[in-house]
Amino acid sequence: MMVSVKDLSLSIDGSPIIEDISFAVENKEIIGIVGPNGSGKSTLLKTIYKTLRPDKGTILMDHQDISTLSEKETAKKMAVLKQESTIDFDFTVREMVAMGRAPHKKTFENYSRADYMIVDEMIEKVGMKAFSNRSFTTLSGGEKQRVLFARSLTQKPELLILDEPTNHLDIKYQIEVMEIISELDISILSAIHDLNIASSYCDKIILLHQGTIKSFGSPEQVLQEHVIRDIFQVENKVSNNPFTGSIHIYFLGLGSKSKRKTPAAFAEGALL
């Protein structure tokens, strides 16, 4: 799935929230959206998954304008894992995940054995098999997140949009989510807070700041020390992770504003 976003702008109550955003997601690419709190990551994603309507601009999925697609047509192509879920109905985990098959069914068509094979496969993939019959509302935040992830995988989308997918997750499941999406072979667009997770798993990174794209390119191109210092206002050193080969950012406090002592290794240039 190719996605082309062109000149996207959205204001809320007269304040511009995202402005003139243009970029393309190539087929099967993983694109991470990073940026400080309030930089517009969720708003950009909500505009792409049609919860918000842009004031201006177009979004094409494989050359088709998404504003012309019905909800069902969109859901056949695009799955969304949102940051927060407000689901209070008493569904079991398996029922919840099975909802991911809905866009592929006709009204009143029953789920087939093949549908449930996908459902169970995805529940197992996210490590929730033992919870299949548990009520969704009784789960912890991280467990809910994994179930909703399984539901979006069950949808078998060509484009998966994730709004901070690793929110609530412990380190094992943070890595697991990223490993699973790396193996999906579909296009992925994901807001990510952790810059090192973004650099390890994304083909390209969009850096948002105050609603505009500051930089778009490979992790090496985007995540440069002076850029991280300017945009996130954190002292840092960028180096190579000798074990994975991807770049790694060491965070060194807030510079002159920091209450922490300057690490000796930094002062002596040992990390360079």
- Min. distance of Cβ 155 from ligand ATP in angstroms? 23
User: What does 55-96 look like in DSSP terms, one character per residue?
Assistant: SEEEEEETTEEGGGS-HHHHHHHEEEE-S-----S--BHHHH
Using the minimum distance from each CB to ligand ATP, give the nearer residue, 42 or 174. 42
- Give me the phi and psi of 32, to 5 degrees please: -100, 140
Point out which residues bind ligand ATP (CB under 6 A): 12-13, 17, 35, 37-43
Q: Which is nearer to ligand ATP, 11 or 132 (CB)?
A: 11
Min CB(141)–ligand ATP separation in Å: 16
Establish how many alpha carbons lie within 13 A of residue 18's alpha carbon, considering only the half-sphere containing its beta carbon: 27
Nearer to ligand ATP, 47 or 154 (CB): 47
Q: Which residue lies nearer to ligand ATP by CB, 160 or 192?
A: 192
Q: What is the smallest separation between the CB atom of 34 and ligand ATP, expressed in angstroms?
A: 9
Long-range contacts of 225-232 (CB under 8 A, 24+ apart): 228/195, 229/255, 231/35, 231/36, 231/207, 232/36
Residue 270 beta carbon to ligand ATP: minimum distance, rounded to whole angstroms: 32
Torsional class of 210: left (φ above 0), alpha (ψ -120 to 50), beta (otherwise): left
Residue for token digits 């088709």?
64
Residue among 43 and 154 whose Cβ is closer to ligand ATP:
43
Least distance between ligand ATP and beta carbon 15 (Å): 7
Q: Are 47 and 8 in contact (CB under 8 A)?
A: yes
Distance of CA 259 to the CA centre of its chain: 32
Minimum CB separation from ligand ATP for residue 51, in Å? 11
CA distances, 246 to each of 32, 162, 170, 242 (Å): 15, 22, 22, 8
Give me the least distance between CB of 167 and ligand ATP, in Å please: 9
Beta carbon nearer to ligand ATP, 6 or 193: 193
Distance CA 94, CA 110 (A): 15
Q: Based on CB atoms, which residue is closest to ligand ATP, 1 or 162?
A: 162
